[in-house]
Amino acid sequence: MRVLVTGGARSGKSRHAESLLSGFDAVTYVAPGPTTAEDPDPDWAARIAAHRVSRPRGWTTLETRDLAAALSVDGPILVDCLGTWLAGTLDERGLWDESSATITQIVTALLADAVTALEDRDDVVLVTNEVGLGVVPDHRSGRLFRDLLGLVNQQVATACDQVHLVVAGRVLTL
């Protein structure tokens, strides 16, 4: 089954996503945000380390923003999270100052490859942030991120069998 898990910050999304794959001995945990090698931020490194320690022994971590390639590995996959993938992709490619149309075209092309890879699977859980329920951000970068992540979430949701909304640790299947 392909499941997209969405919700706000610290809502319990990751815990729920992990529980959906808890019956598997080996899972590839895809961390598509900043890698610990790229980002010397000690808080980020500690967060990655804490996540690794909390997972079952047979789970491996793959730090990459190449979602299409990550979705082609054997066995069950958990991608956590599409929001960090998007931010990392925009940073890595220096896209923040490009026109909205250019950025949308690039992100859509990258996402199309990932969605195609996703459609060939039946054992993937993806985590994303829900950013469209709040106020309109003051800054262009905030509006750009919100709009792009909304697009990403919609396209990934179409390739999934289920979408779960997590609020305060409670799960609603949409």
Per-residue pLDDT, 43: 79
Helices within 93-173 (DSSP H only): 100-119, 140-158
Residue 132's Cβ-count burial label (10 Å; 0-12, 13-18, 19+) is exposed
Whole-angstrom Cα Rg for the chain: 15
Does 40 have pLDDT greater than 90?
no
Per-residue pLDDT, 114: 96
Q: What is the CATH number of domain 2-173?
A: 3.40.50.300
Q: What's the mean per-residue pLDDT of the chain?
A: 91
Per-residue pLDDT, 55: 80
CA–CA separation, 162 and 174 (whole Å): 7
Does 38 have pLDDT greater than 80?
no
Percent of the chain with pLDDT over 70: 96
- Where are the extended beta strands (E) located within 84-145? 124-127
53, two tokens: 């320690």
Does 36 have pLDDT greater than 80?
no
Beta bridge partners of 53: none
The answer to whether 51 is a known catalytic residue is yes
How is the chain split into domains, by residue range?
2-173
pLDDT digits (tens, 9 = 90+) for 93-151: 999 999 999 999 999 999 999 999 999 999 999 999 998 888 888 999 999 999 999 99
160, two tokens: 């999934």
CA–CA separation, 144 and 96 (whole Å): 8
Does 66 have pLDDT greater than 90?
yes
Beta bridge partners of 7: 166
Task: State which H helix or E strand residue 81 sits in.
Answer: none
CA–CA separation, 8 and 128 (whole Å): 9
Per-residue pLDDT, 147: 95
Does 159 have pLDDT greater than 80?
yes
Does 37 have pLDDT greater than 70?
no
Q: Does residue 117 or residue 44 have the better pLDDT?
A: 117
Decide the pairing of beta strands 60-63 and 124-127: unpaired
Per-residue pLDDT, 2: 98
